[in-house]
Chains A and B, each alone.
Chain A
Amino acid sequence: MLEPDGEVGLEASARIRHRAAGRVDAVVLAWCQWYTADLPDDVAAERRAELGSDLFEEREHSGADATGSILWRAVRGIPADLAWRGARLRRAALGAPRGTFPLAMPALAHLAAIALVAWGGFIVWRIARSVLIGDWHGAADVAELSVAGLLLALVGTWLLMLARRRAFAGLVLAVAAYLLIRFGTYALMETSVSFTAYFSTSTAQMVLLNRVATGAAVLFFLSMGAWWTSPKVAAESEEGE
């Protein structure tokens, strides 16, 4: 359907903006950029070019009055955009090499990132509450590292949603996991009497559990980062075999 340089040509074509185009057009195109980011290049280029053309034509037809219509069309189309994206991803996954789980692994990474943010939020909330009621007796650096861990987890979760930043997101989340699980557990101990009592009665097991959980989480996010590093190079080398 596309000529040899079709993707490049279409991407260039999609960048042409109408003189009446405003911020809404940019937001709609950015949304399209996001939901097509990890789809095959030709599929993504065609969808972006088609939407770019549609926005231009609507501006040409209605000028500045089209803003409301463009926004409303984009918002109403979100479920269909996501359904279309899901169908395209499933189709791309059918041709993936065995054992690579191109849909399940990213989903698991998103879930793990959300769990990490929830864990970090819980720890920081416990620390803040403890500090506010004057009950905090832990080391300041443990609290600081937990807060830093939560911030990194939030940044990593956001980066995970940007297709081109996912490898870096894996690295950021690995650091966040180390801080939040390794030091967050100690911070939690300082805010909970029952947790402290449990820790003191089975110290060796708790330390071992802490190390194993930290190691597993860090390894998981590093593996995801490595898995997302230059996937095209890996795909090309497999095609060449």
Chain B
Amino acid sequence: MGRYLPIDLADIFLYFQAISSYAVCMPRRREGRLVDLEVDILGAGIELQAEDGDFYGFALAKRIADRAGATALTAHGTLYKALSRLAERGLVESEWEDPGIAADEGRPRRRLYRVTGAGVVAHRAETEQRTVLAPSPRTAFA
């Protein structure tokens, strides 16, 4: 069969997968790429890290909302699931705050995150790729 048709089942599968990626409205993850929320997390995280050295969940949600000019903060489940995913990919790392500091300030311990070197590279690559891929209005109507 392969002798007459220069395609195999894997090609057919990829073809239908490509079609379905256009048909379904939900964003699909491409290998090595970041989804919008992950880009936002890394971008906001890099900013917070430059100011304070690290960041924690609520501060991150607040910064993401401020950057987007939104009033609603990212949902708890969505934010921490995305952070967990980024940690598994080695793009962020975390450690629990010293219990003494939290106790002195009379609040629960924070989980402190930092964007890793790989995270900074991935964020830069993703934003550059998006800038290149996004057609300018002039070229789109040329």
B81 interface neighbour in A61, A72, A74, A84, Cβ under 8 Å: A84
Selected interface stretch from B4-12, B102-110, B133-141 = B102-110
Interchain nearest-CB distance for B89 vs A (Å): 14
- Please, which residues of chain B bring their CB within 8 A of the CB of A51? 76, 80
Q: Which residues of chain A from 48 to 68 have any CB-CB distance to chain B below 8 Å in the complex?
A: 49-54, 56-58, 60-61
CB distance from A233 to the nearest CB of B (A): 29
A84–B84 CB distance below 8 A: yes
Given A1-B95, A53-B56, A57-B59, A84–B108 Cβ distance below 8 Å? Answer: no
Complex Cα–Cα for A76 and B109 (A) = 25
B99 within 8 A of partner (CB): yes
B58 interface contact, C-beta 8 A? yes
User: How many residue pairs between the two chains, A and B, have CB atoms under 8 Å in the bound complex?
Assistant: 93
The CA of A74 and the CA of B73, in the complex, are separated in Å by: 10
Does A78 lie at the interface of the complex (its beta carbon under 8 Å from any beta carbon of B)? yes
The answer on a CB contact under 8 Å between B78 and A1 is no
Smallest Cβ-Cβ distance to A47: which chain B residue: B80
* Chain B residues whose CB sits within 8 angstroms of the CB of A82 once the complex forms: 77
B73–A69 contact, CB under 8 A? yes
* Interface check A6, CB cutoff 8 A: yes
Task: Label chain A's interface by main secondary structure.
Answer: helix
> Which chain A residues (18-53) contact chain B, with CB distance < 8 Å?
18, 28, 46-47, 49-53
Which residues from chain A contact B111 at a C-beta distance below 8 Å? 46, 49-50, 53
**A73–B99 touching, CB < 8 Å:** no
Q: How many residues of B contact A (CB 8 A)?
A: 28
A216 within 8 A of B: no
Within residues 62 to 79 of chain B, which ones have a CB less than 8 A from any CB in chain A? 62, 72-79
CB distance from B111 to the nearest CB of A (A): 5
A13 to B106, CA, bound (A): 10
Which B residues touch A60, using CB under 8 A? Answer: 107
Contacts from B to A (Cβ < 8 Å): 56-59, 61-62, 72-81, 84, 94-96, 99, 102, 106-111
Give 24 pairs: A residue, B residue, CB < 8 Å, sorted on A: A1-B94, A2-B96, A16-B106, A18-B107, A46-B111, A49-B109, A50-B111, A51-B76, A52-B108, A53-B58, A53-B110, A53-B111, A54-B76, A56-B108, A57-B57, A73-B74, A74-B76, A74-B77, A75-B75, A77-B76, A78-B77, A82-B77, A83-B81, A84-B80
A residues neighboring B (CB under 8 Å): 1-2, 6, 9-10, 13-14, 16, 18, 28, 46-47, 49-54, 56-58, 60-61, 69, 72-84
Beyond the given pairs A78-B77, A84-B77, 17 more chain A to chain B contacts, judged by CB atoms under 8 angstroms and listed by A's residue number, are A2-B96, A10-B96, A13-B108, A16-B107, A52-B108, A53-B111, A54-B57, A57-B58, A60-B107, A61-B58, A69-B72, A72-B75, A73-B61, A77-B75, A79-B77, A80-B78, A82-B77
